[in-house]
Amino acid sequence: MCGIVGHIGAGDSVDKVLEGLKRLEYRGYDSAGICFKNSAGDLSLFKKTGKLANLINLLNNQDHHSSSSVGHTRWATHGAVNDMNSHPHLYKNLAIVHNGIIENAEELRKGLTARGFKFTSDTDSEVFLGLLSFELEEGRDLLAATSNAFKKLKGSSAFVIQSSDSDGIVTIKRGAPLVCGINENLGEAMVSSDPYALIGFVEKIFFPDDDVMCFLSKGSINFYDLDGSPSTRYLAKDLETNFEISTKGQFEHYMLKEIYEQPVLIRKLSDIYLEGIDLELERPKRVHLVGCGTAFYAGMVVGQMLEKLLKIPVSLEFASEFRYKDPLLLPGDLAIFISQSGETADTLAAQKLCKDKGIKTISIVNVEGSTLFREVDQNFLIHAGQEIGVASTKAFTQQVLTGRIICEAFAGTKDFKSLKQKFSLLSHRIEELLNQAELFKEMAQKIYNFQGFFFTGRGPYYPVALEGALKLKEIAYVHAEGYAAGELKHGPIALIDEKMVNIAIVGPELFDKTVSNIQEIKARKGIIIGIGPDVADLRNICDLFIPLTFEGLEELSPLYVNVANQLLSYHIAKQKGTDIDRPRNLAKSVTVE
């Protein structure tokens, strides 16, 4: 979603903001802009649709020496993708950038138009600019005006406000991510929607709570509640200086690099959690597993483990459904929220609902310090490192494994020897799979032009069929559907012909039944790509085949299969020449509902 970076301090402010925006490119965006205080003390605005490089080109021939600037990458919600709707929005001596949605924008727009405010864009964001300008015209200072204008908005939003009349930058947020940071030595302060943009620039970061205004000036930040009184409602944290900016290294794409990181990360997770630390967790009566997209599918695998290994009843929900369905929450229930970013708007809203109803909440999360991390009662970090590719890969594996570790915690296990062996075996088998890149490349060359794909699987392989289809859709822009193999004949089989590819996942469980399902597709001329144990009964009915060795992996085997799906999707997308790391229309972290 939209990326925000603001800076105040030394004269290379624009360069620092552009560097910050560059780091946020992975989140997905369609236009970029920057506003800075020029040498005359006025605000200069530059914005352009398309990649950040277009904005940088615009600035190349301009004097952009400045000690205060605010930048933005936009992911359109209200209004088409064009220069006019890009951020920042400027009115007289005032500029704003926005991440979120103003739900009552239409109503406010009518009122502002009636009062004579001239809108220059179709965005909801400009409504805040209008409100703010009237508050200032009525004689309020920037903080009081921000507070008054913000109180009129409905929905989740984060804003950064810059005025040529102020020597600071003001921020305000509710339900959308925002982090500030300072470097006292250099006399600088920064703000962003993502801590990643601040690494290396600041030494200390602050996560303001909702409805807290931050006033950033050179080397300091002051916090205020909406009534203007000083606020202590923020979390302060020293920034790890050893946090490395992720690079692609020898890989062509971040996604591929992240797929290849998995064996090492699995071993790391095992070292962190399974080396005898006290993992005890009170066994709940029932578990609600909540997440979105890939995190939801990870929850599906974890849910099956909880039911199978521990006989704990599970309810699995998309966060966007859970938050509005008035869920049945009972004493003794536990809610587990799964999220890579920890900033997904629906997941956060679902967690808040549980918290408000007195249900204990825990996270399976990657980003330490994220909103989810701060809001839950207990965190289980997945230790995946930064995931840059919009299509989630390594996070899925780590989420499921962390869920598996939580099962041990519920069981009160003290000896993790057998689980450690399984983790190690999984890591090893994935390594072997990753060494077969040629197999996936050749397969992709044969099938990349097909337009329809079914991923099928039964039992523990059904969630990875869903996840496999999601991956292919996201990065290859083809229609792909995940289906429970036994369900195909209840309708979708009508779609099978010689133009449809079926990626058939076959594990040791329900082997014969799944093979029968494949026969049904073969009888209707569907192209079969089998992923399963190397046995003649299976191999001989497949047009193409990916042999896997399941022995010893047991409940972790869906993760092994999933890596095969990841590689296949990656190589199909590569053949098609899509923007693999930043697929069209997608955002890495979905901070609006």
CA dihedral (133, 138, 140, 142) in degrees, to 10, reads 10
Q: Is 344 in the site for ligand M6R (CB under 6 A)?
A: yes
Among the listed residues 48, 218, 574, 588, the single catalytic one is 588
Q: With CB under 6 A, what is the number of residues at the site for ligand M6R? A: 16
What binding mask, one character per residue, do residues 436-475 give for ligand M6R by CB under 6 A, x or -?
Answer: --------------------------------------x-
DSSP-derived letter for residue 209 is P
CB of 484 to ligand M6R, least distance (A): 20
Distance CA 174, CA 161 (A): 15
The nearer residue to ligand M6R, 1 or 202, going by C-beta atoms, is 1
DSSP-derived letter for residue 196 is G
Token look-up 């399941």 returns 550
> Which parts of 89-209 are beta strand (E)?
89-91, 94-100, 157-163, 169-174, 179-183, 188-192, 204-208
- Residue, CB closest to ligand M6R: 293
In three-state secondary structure terms, 135 is helix
CB of 563 to ligand M6R, least distance (A): 14
CB of 336 to ligand M6R, least distance (A): 13
CB of 13 to ligand M6R, least distance (A): 30
Beta strand 31-37 with 68-74: parallel, antiparallel or unpaired?
antiparallel
| Residue 53 CB contacts under 8 Å (≥ 6 apart), including other chains | none
The nearer residue to ligand M6R, 391 or 559, going by C-beta atoms, is 391
Stretch that binds ligand M6R, among 183-191, 243-251, 340-348, 438-446 (CB under 6 A): 340-348
Q: Quick one: which of 347, 397, 402, 591 contacts ligand M6R (CB under 6 A)?
A: 347
Token look-up 């926005």 returns 98
Q: Is 339 in the site for ligand M6R (CB under 6 A)?
A: yes
Q: Is 392 in the site for ligand M6R (CB under 6 A)?
A: yes
Distance CA 31, CA 51 (A): 6
Q: Quick one: which of 95, 127, 290, 390 contacts ligand M6R (CB under 6 A)?
A: 390
Q: Is 391 in the site for ligand M6R (CB under 6 A)?
A: yes
Q: Is 434 in the site for ligand M6R (CB under 6 A)?
A: no
Q: Quick one: which of 156, 270, 340, 427 contacts ligand M6R (CB under 6 A)?
A: 340
Q: Is 13 in the site for ligand M6R (CB under 6 A)?
A: no
CB of 328 to ligand M6R, least distance (A): 24
DSSP-derived letter for residue 191 is E
Q: Is 341 in the site for ligand M6R (CB under 6 A)?
A: yes
Stretch that binds ligand M6R, among 100-108, 162-170, 387-395, 439-447 (CB under 6 A): 387-395
Burial of 85-111, coded b for 16+ CB within 10 Å and e otherwise, reads bbbbbbbebbbbbbbbbbeebeebbee
The nearer residue to ligand M6R, 422 or 473, going by C-beta atoms, is 473
The nearer residue to ligand M6R, 44 or 591, going by C-beta atoms, is 591
HEC string of 396-453? HHHHHHHHHHHHHHHHCCCCCHHHHHHHHHHHHHHHHHHCCHHHHHHHHHHHCCCCEE
Give just the sign of the alpha carbon dihedral 220, 225, 229, 231: negative
Helices then strands (H, E): number in the chain?
18, 24
DSSP-derived letter for residue 487 is G
The nearer residue to ligand M6R, 146 or 361, going by C-beta atoms, is 361
Does 588 qualify as catalytic in the annotation? Answer: yes
Q: Is 590 in the site for ligand M6R (CB under 6 A)?
A: yes
Report the site for ligand M6R in 251-310 (rule: CB under 6 A). Answer: 292-295
* Binding interface with ligand M6R (CB under 6 A): 292-295, 339-341, 344, 347, 390-392, 474, 586, 589-590
Catalytic residues: 2, 588
